[in-house]
Structure 1
Amino acid sequence: MTDLRVLIVDDDFHVGRLHAGYVDAVPGFTALPPVGSAEQALRAVHGQEPDLLLLDVYLPDALGLDLLRTVDVDAIMLTAAADAASVRKALRRGALGYLIKPFTAEQLSRRLRAYARFRRMLADQPSVDQDTVDRALHTLFPAEPAAPAARTRSATEAAVLDALPPGSQYSAAEVAQQVGISRATAQRYLSALADDGAVEIHLRYGSTGRPEHRYGRSGR
């Protein structure tokens, strides 16, 4: 399946680049080059046809909320605008989600994965029944899960988690070396721990190339 193409619209270049790294870290998603204004966003929408916008409210030439009602593209708001009026207006104008800055890579990842499930549930169907609509909407706006009961971890999974002392961040390769497993195996366990909320994913940028994924123990 072709990756879902995501356009980030944020007036801060560094924030847009950071969020693009978050997007690229989620399987099934590819970030287009971020843009920093409503005008650039309109050109990118028409020229590149993204599947999803990650849209800030405050742009230098317009409000993202005004841009939202002029484009026929799915959108999730990523913004520092935390007033209730902006939230209501965004949802009224069709936003599929609203994530207040600052947020973690894992918080955005959860919303992107939910959006992918939403798309799959409604894909290529000439008609849907009410149950499908209800399940699709529930997927987009899931209730925050209650804290899960402690489950028994395998010895390898426990060793991977133990390799991440509180306050530290390591790459999958570093964890693999500590535990004595392959990098691919470490990556698999780290991803599962991130899905459980036990581990958070962070990004560290170098001078060139894609950002390095770093893993740290969750504060929860």
Structure 2
Amino acid sequence: MRKALIVEDDYRIGMLHEKYLESIDGLESAGHALNAKEMWALLRDRAADVLLLDIYLPDSMGIHLLEDIRHYYPEMDIIIITAATDREYLEKSLRGGIVNYLIKPVTIEKFEQTMKEYLSKRAVLDSVENVDQQFIDDYMAQSSAMKPAADKRKLPTGIDYLTLERIEKVLHEAGGGLTAEQAANRIGASRTTARRYLEFMISEGDAEARLEYGIVGRPERHYYEV
């Protein structure tokens, strides 16, 4: 479960965003800070994976906090949620390493879409140990060609469209069958991750598994594209 810390000086908006978080599987609130001082206090006491940061705070500008946040919490992701529409703020935020930028007012649909995309991208990175250029291209482009199909299929928790696309690709290119370990090696993920995606493909009717005997005579599960 990933935790999101909300930094929003408008109490009502902050509470609304906390309520939005309740509807998203895999994400929960780590608290709500009304200003920069409260934000630093909460960060010292609670772990947070992603910071939902407003730009206009009573004691600081959110974009002025980015450098220090990056210094003290380099592994924490940042999403800006603000009424600021100045291009300058967007550019400074991007240079500060944000992962998204939302303009208020944010509808629940847009909020959920953004946070689910964030969770999906984090899951993709967590599922691999090594990356190649194709993975990076797909990741940076959000795999636009694959995403509508994946959304339409309503992928379950633990299955993201980018990793699924890579598993489908290596299985197709293999021609013959692949074991979970072979598939894992080709996409740079763990065997457990590869097996989960291969079994999902079977449940969707996109692959089949056959028990085949190896050199030592022990049957091993091989996956084939259907």
Q: Give me the TM-score of the superposition, normalised by structure 1.
A: 0.60
SS at match of 1:32: strand
Q: Does 1:13 align with 2:3?
A: no
Q: Does 1:111 align with 2:114?
A: yes
Residues 142 and 4 of structure 1: is their aligned pair in 2 closer, same or farther, counting only changes over 3 Å?
farther
> How far apart are the structure 2 equivalents of 1:132 and 1:88?
26
Residue deviations 1:140-179 (CA, integer Å, cap 9, x gap): x969x99xxxx9xxxxxxxxxxxxxxxxxxxxxxxxxxxx
Name structure 1 gaps, 5 residues minimum: 152-220
Q: Which has the higher strand share?
A: 2
> How far apart are the structure 2 equivalents of 1:129 and 1:70?
31
2:36/2:59 contact within 8 Å kept: yes
Residues 159-178 of structure 1: matches in 2 within 5 Å? none
1:20/1:31 contact within 8 Å kept: yes
Residues 12-161 of structure 1: matches in 2 within 5 Å? 12-71=10-69, 72=74, 73-123=76-126, 125-139=128-142
> How far apart are the structure 2 equivalents of 1:68 and 1:113?
23
Name structure 2 gaps, 5 residues minimum: 153-226
Residues 179-198 of structure 1: matches in 2 within 5 Å? none
> How far apart are the structure 2 equivalents of 1:70 and 1:126?
28
1:8/1:31 contact within 8 Å kept: yes
| Residues paired across the two proteins, number | 144
Aligned to 2:196: none
Residues 142 and 49 of structure 1: is their aligned pair in 2 closer, same or farther, counting only changes over 3 Å?
farther
Residue deviations 1:57-89 (CA, integer Å, cap 9, x gap): 011111111112211220110000011110111
> How far apart are the structure 2 equivalents of 1:138 and 1:7?
27
1:74/1:96 contact within 8 Å kept: yes
In structure 1, what residue type is equivalent to 2:52? L
Q: Which has the higher helix share?
A: 2
Greater C-alpha radius of gyration:
2
Residues 135 and 47 of structure 1: is their aligned pair in 2 closer, same or farther, counting only changes over 3 Å?
farther
In structure 1, what residue type is equivalent to 2:86? D
In structure 2, what residue type is equivalent to 1:22? Y
Percent of counterpart pairs with the same letter?
34
Q: Hey, which bits of structure 1, 4+ residues long, moved more than 3 A?
A: none
